[in-house]
Amino acid sequence: MLPSPSIPIREPCPAGACICNRDTLLNKPDSDTRILCLTKHEEKKLIARIERISSYDDLTHVADLMQRQLGIAVQISPGINEVRSMRGFNIVLIERPGLCSKTRQTVPAAIRRCLEKNPEIAFTILNNHDLLGG
């Protein structure tokens, strides 16, 4: 499932700077290479889109699009201790080949910024995990 030649793919990370296994992914003929379509430019657009999220439904929609279009699965849950700030949430991109370590950091950071701007989304996440009894 290699991207078509007209679709640009992510440039390789500097040697030793990342553990994304981009080359291994490209060399396996039956691998899911959708993640490689997330170029640095497209990643900036994704981060900007995440930061524009204004509701829980919009957050789940963007997460669903990331899963369908890029194969990136996002898990957002309250931490094991109290959630006193947005840092109390566990925001994880599920590990997969081709997922750059920079992306693993920037996407959760953008989601945290979104939650800080829209605390009602954070309350909905807490409510969905039955932490507000409701």
Residue 89, domain member (yes or no): yes
Question: pLDDT band at 24, cuts 50/70/90?
Answer: confident
Question: Which amino acid type is present at position 114?
Answer: C
Residue 74, domain member (yes or no): yes
Distance from C-alpha of 74 to C-alpha of 62, rounded to nearest angstrom: 10
What backbone torsions phi and psi does residue 109 show, to the nearest 5 degrees?
Answer: -65, -40
Is residue 107's pLDDT more than 50? yes
Is residue 75's pLDDT more than 60? yes
For residue 128, the model assigns a pLDDT of 86
Residue 15, domain member (yes or no): no
For residue 85, the model assigns a pLDDT of 62
For residue 44, the model assigns a pLDDT of 96
Residue 123, domain member (yes or no): yes
Residue 4, domain member (yes or no): no
- Work out the average pLDDT over 20-35: 86
For residue 127, the model assigns a pLDDT of 86
Q: Are 90 and 79 in contact (CB under 8 A)?
A: yes
Is residue 82's pLDDT more than 90? no
Residue 3, domain member (yes or no): no
Q: How many domains does the chain have?
A: 1
Q: Are 77 and 84 in contact (CB under 8 A)?
A: no
Question: Which amino acid type is present at position 22?
Answer: R
Question: pLDDT band at 83, cuts 50/70/90?
Answer: low
Q: Is 121 exposed, middle or buried (0-12, 13-18, 19+ CB in 10 A)?
A: buried
Residue-wise pLDDT for 7-18, tens only, equals: 788 888 877 778
Domain span including residue 96 = 36-128
pTM for the model: 0.85
Q: Are 59 and 74 in contact (CB under 8 A)?
A: no
Residue 45, domain member (yes or no): yes
Question: pLDDT band at 88, cuts 50/70/90?
Answer: confident
Residue 16, domain member (yes or no): no
Distance from C-alpha of 54 to C-alpha of 19, rounded to nearest angstrom: 33
Q: At what angle do helices 101-117 and 40-51 cross, to 10 degrees?
A: 20
Q: What is the dihedral of CA 11, 14, 17, 18, to 10 degrees?
A: 30
Residue-wise pLDDT for 43-70, tens only, equals: 999 999 999 999 999 999 999 999 999 9
Q: Is 53 exposed, middle or buried (0-12, 13-18, 19+ CB in 10 A)?
A: buried
